[in-house]
Amino acid sequence: MRGRMLIERARDARKRAYAPYSGYEVGAALVTRKTGKVFTGANVENASYGATVCAERVAVWSALAAGQSKFSALAVVTPGTEPAPPCGMCLQVLSEFCDDLEILLAAAESDEVIETSLAELMPLQFRM
């Protein structure tokens, strides 16, 4: 049940994506470890592609701005029929705040859900 609810929150966030250049609209929903509060994000593109921010990082920034920095689960919904994982930059940002994280991947035009983890997607995390 929790997984389905989290995916639905990511689907809803995806509706607010700003992707006029790629058309690749992504939504994310991130659960805080301590309170279980959900923070959502949608990707925001910019004509200067380097200024583009992924949905996963928007969710992290929103949580951090609200004083939350420990997370237990993330759902990501991408376009098409096959779920896609977060990019390497997002995985690295997530690893800054999580030793491990449950990750649910879903696609907008499919019922398929892939259950994975941060450790599985990024086994050699960079740490300082």
Catalytic center residues: 56
Question: 4: helix, coil or strand?
Answer: helix
Question: Beta 71-78 vs 102-107: how paired, if at all?
Answer: parallel
- Structure-token match 């925001």, residue found: 44
User: In whole angstroms, how large is the CA radius of gyration of the chain?
Assistant: 13
